[in-house]
């Protein structure tokens, strides 16, 4: 265990606390929503920090390679599903984002013997915009501020689809690239 992995585990442990806060008092209590937003924000920040620490100090481990994406998907997925259950986010957005995340994970697994599809700038931007949009939607805001959260989420959906298609192209290149087509 190193500091990067500890932060990843901490992020995983925050997810149930975040959900408890999100759904407390019917899901729309102002104080609980602020607490849920703070927990989400803290978890999202640990994602950024643990990755930087792991790369900068050579703390990349097999555990981290496995646990970090699980933690990310648990945090983002639980927030999206929670917001949709509370009718604060349309279900179609949740379905698009969650389906893309599952699809990219399956694509990566399908081509892993031929190569690794690294996280690109688009994927990192997608995660950042998703996180900021979710953070804003979690806050008990109204008017233009609440609209800004949905506007950010629409941008996140576009980035989600575009980067998902990019992963699909990369996977096809690995699958059918040098070495000939894949034999069944």
Look-up of token digits 């980067």? 163
pLDDT in tens, 5-53: 999 999 999 999 999 999 999 999 999 999 999 999 999 999 889 888 9
pLDDT in tens, 43-89: 999 988 988 898 899 888 888 888 888 899 999 999 999 999 999 99
Enumerate residues 6+ apart whose C-beta is below 8 A from 135.
Answer: 37, 40, 41, 44
94 vs 56, more confident? 94
> What is the pLDDT confidence band of residue 179, given thresholds at 50, 70 and 90?
low
Enumerate residues 6+ apart whose C-beta is below 8 A from 152.
Answer: 129, 132, 133, 136
Integer Cα distance of 11 and 39 in angstroms: 9
Integer Cα distance of 16 and 14 in angstroms: 6
Q: Set out the domains of the chain in order of their start, with CATH numbers.
A: 3-176 (1.20.120.1760)
The upper half-sphere exposure of residue 156, i.e. CA atoms within 13 Å in the direction of its Cβ, equals: 27
Q: Mean pLDDT throughout 149-161?
A: 97
């Amino acid at each position: 265990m190193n500091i990067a992995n500890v932060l990843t585990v901490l992020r995983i442990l925050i997810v149930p606390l975040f959900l408890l806060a999100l759904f407390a008092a019917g899901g729309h209590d102002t104080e609980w929503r602020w607490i849920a937003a703070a927990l989400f924000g803290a978890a999202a920040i640990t994602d950024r920090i643990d990755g930087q620490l792991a790369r900068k100090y050579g703390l990349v481990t097999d555990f981290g390679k496995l646990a970090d994406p699980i933690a990310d998907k648990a945090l983002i997925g639980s927030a999206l599903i929670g917001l949709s259950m509370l009718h604060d986010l349309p279900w179609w957005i949740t379905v698009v984002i969650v389906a893309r995340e599952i699809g990219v994970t399956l694509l990566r697994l399908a081509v892993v013997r031929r190569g690794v599809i690294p996280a690109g700038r688009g994927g990192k931007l997608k995660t950042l915009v998703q996180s900021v949009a979710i953070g804003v939607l979690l806050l008990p805001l109204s008017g233009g501020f609440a609209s800004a959260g949905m506007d950010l989420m629409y941008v996140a959906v576009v980035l989600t689809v575009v980067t998902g298609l990019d992963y699909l192209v990369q996977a096809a290149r690995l699958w059918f690239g040098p070495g000939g087509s894949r034999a069944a």
